Amino acid sequence: MTLLKTHALTAYYGDFQALYGISVHLDEGETVSIVGANGAGKSTLMAALTGQLKSAADMIEFDDKPIGGLRPAEILSRGIALVPEGRQLFPSLSVEENLQVGNYGRKTRGPWNLTRVYSLFPILKERKNQASTSLSGGQQQMVAVGRALMSNPRLLLCDEISLGLAPSVIKDIYKAMAEIRSEGASVVVVEQNIGQALAASDRLYCLLEGRVTLTGRPDDLTREQIRLAYFGGSNP
Amino acid sequence: MLDPKNYTVAKSTRTSRTALVFIFVLVVLLAVAPALVSRSLLQDLFFVLTMIALAQCWNLLAGYGGLVSVGQQAFVGLGAYIGFAGSILWGLNPMLAILLAGVVGAALSVPTAFVVFRLQGAYFAIGTWVAAEVYRLVFAQWKALGGGTGTSLPSGVAKSIAGLSWVREGLDIKSSAARDVISYWIALALVVVIVGAIYAFLRTRSGLALSALRDNETAAESIGVDTRRAKFAVYIFAAFGAAITGALIFFQKASITPQSAFSVIDWTAFVLFIVVIGGIGTIEGPIIGALILFVLQNWFADYGTWYLMALGAIAIAVMLVAPRGIWGLVQAKYDFSIFPTRRRLLGPDTPVPDYTQPIREMKLPPAKGVHAADTPLEVPTMFDIETDVLIIGSGPAGGASAALLSSYGIANIMIEKYGWLANTPRAHITNQRAMEVLRELGIEEDAIAKSVPQELMGNNVFCTALAGEEIGRLLTWGNHPSRKADYDLASPCRICDIPQTLLEPIIVAKAMESGTITRFKTEYISHTQDENGVVATVRDRVANEIYRIRAKYMIGADGANSLIAEQLGLPMDGKMGLEGSMNIEFEADLSKYVAHRPSVLYWIFQPGADIGGIGAGVVRMVRPWNKWLSIYGFDIKDGPPNLSTDEAEQIVRQLIGDDEILIKIGKLSYWTINNMVARRYAKGRVFCMGDAVHRHPPTNGLGSNTSIQDAYNLCWKLKLVLEGKADASLLDTYNDERQPVGRQIVTRANKSIEDYGPIFETLGITQGGSADDVKRRMDSRKQPTVEAEAKRKALNKYIRQKSYEFNCHGVELGQRYSSSAIVSDHTAEPEYTRDRELYYHPTTWPGARIPHVWLDRDQQSVSTLDLVGRGRFVLLTGVSGAGWMEAAARASAELDIALDAIQIGPGCSVNDTFGDWAMQSEVSDSGMILARPDGHVAWRSHMLSANPTGDLLAVMRQILGRT
Amino acid sequence: MIYLDTIIQGVLLGGLYALFALGLSLIFGIMRLVNLAHGDLMILGAFAVLVGVDALGLPIPLAAVLAGIFMFMVGYALQYVLLNRTLGRDILPPLLVTFGLSIILQNGMLETFSADTQRLNMGGLQEASISLFGGLAIGMVPLITFISAIVVILFLNWLFYSTETGRAFRATSDNPQIAQLMGIDNDRIFALAMALAMVIVAIAGLYLGARATFDPLIGPSRLIFAFEAVIIGGLGSFWGTLAGGIILGLAQTFGAQINPEWQILSGHIVFLIILVIRPKGLFPRVTG
């Protein structure tokens, strides 16, 4: 059953239009990836989905209910959690406190709690009282993911979780993603790293200049198609 | 694309100009008001004027400088007290005392600023409040002025103010009324001066910078606004204004107490309200606010606390609802300014921008139709960066381009694949023309300091080995007395020898110092271009990330294996890899073999030295006399021999001819002799230069020199096109002018190799056989026989022939261009009276480089080459050429292009003391020579024409490709 | 002996100043807002207690509690309705709005209560003191003030570092945008913080009124003391604010020893010296 659906979603930063009618959907339990170059609109889409950017109410439907334009806290309480681009941990809070703050706005029973998050990322348990910013990039990413999981979201949005990480660390993060999927969460993965996105998702959307230029199953898409959709234009 | 020609910047509007006329009339009326209005109204006007003065100062501080102070009463009170002290205690005339108050206020604001500037934002505000409290408490200790209870101004002192009696008699009023009048006039003058000063300041560039400061300090800093100095200056000015106004106010009141002098309500609260309600950040706002306050004060002051509460509530409401105040609303709705300080960009049909919106950070989508051609899914993961010109390669061509472009103020980025510059000596002969370019860049002295001078370069020895028999010697690089004169006469610079390892850092340092952004370990991968610009995909080899650089033009200076030339598909003539050659760097003290015959090149003729290579074995001096590089050939069909260190040492010993001497072998490198030149140097927006388009052996020492000249030819053209002063077709002349030169030098350099063949043959080395056979044949020329004599003569001739390699002055300096950027003067090209390759023929015929002569300016010697170049056209004329001077000024203004004009002759700024210019200019005293920014003559006129301006304009238009 | 007495007085005075300053420190730490009406709100708190005692005839502790509740609501409403709208990158709006508020409060209190100086009557407590060795005595009220300051700090530290609300405060202070994504409603959190600060301000007002006289116009001078205490102590730590208050108190009492007229001035001067040498304060907590 469809969990998330957008209908010709548009979004503006002041006068500047950033999304020109995005229509995507996600079924429960699916993992969908959204790829595109810098400035293609991926993070804008995330901002719109989480209520940081205003949109018309019926442009975004979650669980068959319109959520466009709701405040971020409200959207979180309905079960959409974001792992923000650049991790964005709270520097004044320790690792454990960062995790704890994750369920401030939504305390639902579910598979994810501190213990479970620590078993997914054991290194965090060792460092739970350290300042979150003293961790390595990969560990910080784990904290950011764990923080989002603490609210037991029905839909997890991951914005560029491989950004700035070494390849081996990226592998670890995506291994964790597999485990998260197995617990039943539906996931949207936003990536510039196409290889990773293709490997981790059931379906893919490609954005360019605020529009969807390609969609399909990874196996059905050719490199050429993706390259065209990613960069746009035609070959010389 | 936006065409800069269609846009102008306007500083005032018609409405503002009309309004200013009204203001002037108003000020005049106000000035005569004392004769017309009642005393109480005058006092009210005084109040309004002084509040405007205070408000303007606070507005400058907070509204423009971003410094929100709630402690300006410190300076008001300070000014008041100093004013009183001055007139009561120190016997100064009150006017002087008031002025002194301002000065003291400004002076004390310095240490105050030092303390309070350590705080930011709201904490700064409270800090100023604390400072005011300190001032109050300190002044309350001043017993001479009444301590905590204050004092009043003795009437005698008050009356002593200048002009009082004149006013009293003139208007027939009492002394106290006259005092009010004088105070009023001072207040009026003060307001006019303060408003005028602030207005004038805000219209200057520093003033605009200040506006930037208020809106976004970090952004302002990033464009170079010195925020600390700006804030400091503003704070001092505001203190000065507050102090003078304070002194004036209390003079008029004639009594003072610490509470009243340092009152927060009177001197900060009211001022705040005036500025906020009237409109912060505008000059008109405080004036309006003061008037409103005056009205409210008159009607409601009786209501005491309710009045103040209402003021507070109004200020809150205005701050939340209309933060720009009343004037801000007017400006937003009617776009009207009496004192316009914004500059407006007027374009063909751009709407008037709305400056009230804050700067937004936006990520813009990538340009259309752009993609990385052959990159597999290594998609760009980093950001794009932008510049005007992207230079690929940091060698002599790339580096010179970067340095020149930066000196012209054109933004450029240079990328280099490796982590540093040349790490092998490579090119070394730096001829006069190249030195001239370095001279223009201001790095000639640096290069000379690292170079080996001409006199140590020129004993070209031909020998069987360094320690062996010397076969012959040629004085080279202008060291022969007859050639030396040629060289000295031809240029203000001297030829010298400086290895590429030492020269590149000098050039690149200059480039970077002047603004070039250099990215090392950044590898060019591919590019695309369209009518808007070039987008290059590059790899940062440190982060292993791919990103893109967008530029309007790209320079491909990526060397003899140029990827860019290949990708562009530039048609090439000739072949690469004709012969194999190797460089062996070594260290050894060879002084005993060379110090008596100093040279940069020693040519070794022995068996094996004629295979491949550049025609003979070479021992080249890198640093005298202990660092060397030997060049040796190999058969290219066999591939590079991959010598071990011992084998390399063997070869070196052979060339030196000494088995005992201490040798330390350095780097080995293998390369090939190439004979290739591109038929076209450019495609679209991409221009190749240097080895990328002319690939030849190092003979003639032309490589880096030609590369630098390529850059010198192209960069000024790029500058003019980027500035919108020339049509893009000017860039085509780069290819038209330099390609023939490239062809010439490639041919010349390869020919020079061939010229060694006859020497080997005459010596008998090439005929093979054992070492003894060879020695026998070589010694045969020492016989007294006829054959031997013939051999000796032949050898002499062939060695002399090498002048075409080592004394080829005409090829070094004598390039003459022909293209649409050279305008014929309808005279014939002057004859070459001597060999055109060996000898430089100076002429001012259009297309040739301006001849060098020494002139005199301000008791200093200056070369003609020093007068021209430097990114602009220069017109040289004689004493009778005033008409050309004027034409130059007109043409420069009309075309909006830098075109300097210099008169040469007695009584002019530049004098031809030796008379050489008169001999060489080839035009009359009323004629002119128009030099391009690269020092080549664009046009000349023998005498003053009938319409100099028209002619000059026509010529410039043709060169620039403008109609 | 005089010195010991001066020191004790200074330290206890520091407790009062710390109470003044804690609310300011709290607000600035969480929402980067400096409330120029802070001092006046403190006086409002003192008047609230006074009203409770005089008009309603309540005993002081009860009046104090009611005043606390009153100020809590005032703070919440003030922040939610007015001050939240001024928050943003520009520093002018909060400054000017709170300045206007200050003027309104002062004049409103003037109208309501007249310019007479007031005093809170705490029964015999104000004359009571504890005798120490060598003839030294510590006033009960200053001592209770100091102890209250410590209690408040302990409470704040507990709240901030051991409760969910405290985490929410700190997270919002770090990154309000991301905090929103965690379900922390910025508007409500800020209002809660201001309300909390106002309770502390009410306590400060109580002790101010008990120790000395007060009238509607002395708010700004108390604000300056609060501000100086915060800056001397350094931002980011509540204990640091106490230290700052103590140093200020000591500066003032020693200054008064030299010359009674110089009490306030010496506080200012010590403040300025510390500002020049250590602009970040003596015990700043460096946050990430």
ipTM: 0.87
Greater pLDDT, B571 or B123:
B571
Q: Which residues of A touch C287 (CB under 8 A)?
A: 91-92
Minimum distance, in Å, between the CA of residue A157 and any CA atom of chain C: 12
Helix C186-211 to helix C164-174 angle, to the nearest 10 degrees? 110
Residue B950 lies in a domain: yes
C160 chain-A contacts, CB cut-off 8 A: none
The pLDDT of residue C246 is 95
Q: Report pLDDT digits (tens) over B782-793.
A: 888 888 888 888
| B647 within domain boundaries | no
The enclosing domain of B118 has a CATH number of 1.10.3470
* CATH for B954: 3.40.30.120
Of the listed ranges B23-27, B168-172, B193-197, C106-110, the least confidently predicted one is: B168-172
Q: What is the pLDDT of residue B38?
A: 82
Domain shared by B796 and B937, yes or no = no
Cα separation, B484 vs B482, in Å, equals 6
Tens digits of per-residue pLDDT, C245-275?
999 999 999 999 888 888 899 999 999 888 8
Q: Which residue type, as a one-letter code, is found at position C196?
A: L
B73 and B264 in contact (C-beta within 8 Å)?
A: yes
Do the beta carbons of residue A33 and residue A200 sit within 8 Å? yes
- Pair B791, B858 in one domain: no
Query: Does A224 lie at the interface with B, CB-CB under 8 angstroms?
Result: no
d(CA C264, CA C224): 10
Number of domains forming the structure of chain B: 3
Domain end, chosen from B280, B307, B334, is at B334
Lowest mean pLDDT among A84-98, A215-229, B157-171, B535-549: B157-171
Helices (H), chain C: 2-31, 38-54, 60-77, 92-113, 140-162, 164-174, 176-181, 186-211, 219-233, 238-258, 263-277
Contact criterion met (CB < 8 Å) for C168 and A147: no
- Model confidence pLDDT, tens digit, residues B388-431: 999 999 999 999 999 999 999 999 999 999 988 888 888 898 99
Q: Do A101 and C177 touch (CB under 8 A)?
A: no
Closest residue in chain C to residue B359, using alpha carbons only:
C89
- Residue B927, domain member (yes or no): yes
- Per-residue pLDDT for B867 more than 60? yes
The whole-angstrom distance between A120's CA and the closest CA on chain B is 29
**Amino acid C288: pLDDT:** 33
pLDDT tens-digit profile of C73-122? Answer: 999 999 999 998 888 767 778 888 998 899 899 999 998 998 888 888 77
Extract long-range pairs of C48-56: CB within 8 Å, 24+ residues apart: C48/C202, C48/C205, C49/C120, C49/C202, C49/C205, C49/C206, C49/C209, C50/C118, C50/C120, C50/C209, C53/C120, C53/C121
Domain assignment of residue B68, yes or no: yes
User: What is the CATH classification number for the domain harbouring A100?
Assistant: 3.40.50.300
State how far the Cα of B548 lies from the Cα of B538, in Å rounded to an integer. Answer: 6
Tens of pLDDT along B316-344?
Answer: 898 888 888 888 888 877 766 666 665 55
Q: Shortest Cα distance from A51 to chain C (angstroms)?
A: 9
Question: Measured between CB atoms, which of C28, C96, C264 is closest to B272?
Answer: C96
Please tell me whether residues B777 and B914 are part of one structural domain: no
- Give me the number of domains chain A comprises: 1
Nearest chain B residue to C33, by CA: B122
Q: pLDDT, tens digit, for every residue of B354-383?
A: 433 333 333 333 333 333 333 333 344 445
Q: C58 in a domain, yes or no?
A: yes
% of chain B beyond a pLDDT of 90: 43
Average pLDDT over residues B877-904: 92
State residue B404's pLDDT score: 96
Question: Residues B94, B158: contact at Cβ < 8 Å?
Answer: yes
Which residues have a Cβ under 8 Å from the Cβ of C287 and sit 6 or more positions away?
A91, A92, C174, C236
Could you give the count of Cα atoms lying within 13 Å of B883 in the half-sphere of its Cβ? 16
Contacts of C94 in chain B (CB under 8 A): 122
Task: Determine whether the interchain pair C288/A91 forms a contact, defined as Cβ–Cβ distance below 8 Å.
Answer: yes
Domain boundaries, position B956: 854-960
- With respect to residue B65, please indicate whether it lies within any of the assigned structural domains: yes
Question: What's the confidence (pLDDT) of residue B360?
Answer: 36
| C220–chain B Cβ distance below 8 A for any pair | yes
Q: Do C171 and A151 touch (CB under 8 A)?
A: no
Specify the pLDDT at position B363: 33
- Of the candidates A50, A97, A131, the beta carbon closest to that of C288 is on A131
Question: According to the model, what pLDDT value does residue B761 have?
Answer: 84
Kindly report the average pLDDT of chain A as a whole number.
87
- Contact C91/B at CB under 8 A: yes
Say yes or no: C277 contacts chain B, CB-CB below 8 A. Answer: no
How far is residue B197's CA from residue B195's CA, in Å, rounded to a whole number?
Answer: 5
Mean pLDDT to the nearest integer, A188-212: 87
Q: Does residue B790 sit in the same domain as residue B876? A: no
pLDDT of residue B741: 93
Q: What is the pLDDT of residues C159-215, one digit of tens each?
A: 999 999 999 999 998 888 899 999 998 899 999 999 999 999 999 999 998 888 899
Provide the pLDDT for residue B10: 59
Confidence grade of residue A236 (pLDDT, cut at 50, 70, 90): very low
Q: Which residues of B touch A232 (CB under 8 A)?
A: 366, 368-369, 371
CB contact under 8 A, C184 and A52: no
Q: From chain C, which residues contact A within 8 Å (Cβ)?
A: 164, 167-168, 170-171, 173-175, 177-185, 287-288
Best to test chain C binding among B273, B305, B359 (most C CBs inside 10 Å): B305
pLDDT tens profile B614-672: 778 899 999 988 899 999 988 888 888 888 888 899 899 989 998 888 899 999 988 88
- A192 CA: distance to closest CA in chain B (Å): 7
Q: What is the tally of structural domains in chain C?
A: 1
- Within 8 A of A231 by CB-CB distance, chain B residues are 366, 370-372
Give the residue, C120 or B443, on which the prediction is more confident: B443
Residues of C in contact with A88 (CB under 8 A): 175, 178
Other Cβ atoms closer than 10 A to A13: 14
Of B368, B371, B383, the CB nearest to A38: B383
Cβ-Cβ contacts under 8 Å, C185 against chain A = 71, 73
* Residue C41 neighbours by CB under 8 Å, 6+ apart: C35, C71, C74, C75, C105, C198, C201, C219
Task: Indicate the residue type of B102.
Answer: G
CA distance C240 to chain A (A): 17
Lowest mean pLDDT among B375-389, B721-735, B811-825, C156-170: B375-389
Q: Say how far apart CA B493 and CA B3 lie, in whole Å.
A: 41
* Interface residue A105 vs chain C (CB under 8 A): yes
The whole-number pLDDT of residue A15 equals: 75
Picking from B698, B680, B795, B684, the residue whose alpha carbon sits closest to that of residue B748 is B698
A contact residues 144-203, partner C, Cβ 8 Å cutoff: 147, 151
Do A50 and C184 count as a contact with CB atoms less than 8 A apart?
A: no
pLDDT of residue B932: 95
Establish if B14 belongs to a structural domain.
Answer: yes
Reported in sequence order, the residue ranges of B363-407 that DSSP labels E, i.e. its strands, are 384-386, 389-392
Residue B585 in tokens: 């760097």
Written as six digits, the tokens of B674 are: 């190439």
Q: Which residue of A has its CA nearest to B364?
A: A39
Report percent pLDDT > 70 for chain B: 91
Mean pLDDT of B452-467: 90
Q: Is A164 on the interface with B (CB under 8 A)?
A: no
Confidence of residue B350 (pLDDT cuts 50, 70, 90): very low
Q: Which residue has the higher pLDDT, B371 or B232?
A: B232
A41, A194, A209: residue with CB nearest B379:
A194
Q: Least CB-CB distance to B365: which of A39, A192, A235? A: A39
CB pairs under 8 A between B and C: 119
> Is the CB of residue A136 less than 8 Å away from at least one CB of chain C?
no
Residue B13, pLDDT score = 62
If asked whether residues B796 and B872 sit together in one domain, one would say no
* Domain ranges, residue A175: 2-231
User: Which residues of chain C lie closer than 8 angstroms to A108, CB-CB?
Assistant: none
What pLDDT, on a 0 to 100 scale, did the predictor assign at position B844?
A: 94
**CA A140/CA A131 separation, integer angstroms:** 10
The overall average pLDDT reported for chain C is 88
**Which chain A residue has the Cα nearest residue B384?**
A38
Query: Of B362, B366, B384, which is closest to A13 when you measure between CB atoms?
Result: B362
What tens digit of pLDDT does each residue of B249-266 get? 998 888 899 989 998 888
Which two structure tokens, joined as six digits, stand for A233?
A: 């234009």
Establish if B932 belongs to a structural domain: yes
Beta strands in chain A (DSSP E): 2-6, 9-13, 16-22, 25-27, 31-36, 60-62, 65-66, 80-83, 155-159, 186-191, 203-208, 211-216
Q: How far is CA B932 from the centre of its chain?
A: 19
Q: By CA distance, what is B128's nearest residue in C?
A: C224
- With 90 as the cut, is the pLDDT of residue B294 above it? no
Q: Does a structural domain hold residue C244?
A: yes
Residue A236 lies in a domain: no
* Residue A158 DSSP symbol: E
Residue B11 shares a structural domain with residue B143: yes
Contacts of C238 in chain A (CB under 8 A): none
> Which range of residues forms the domain containing residue C131?
2-277
* Residue among C177, C182, C287 minimizing CB distance to A92: C287
Q: Specify the pLDDT at position B436.
A: 95
Task: Please state, in angstroms and rounded to a whole number, the distance separating the CA atoms of residues B565 and C39.
Answer: 74
Residue B670 lies in a domain: no
Q: Does A227 touch chain B (CB under 8 A)?
A: yes
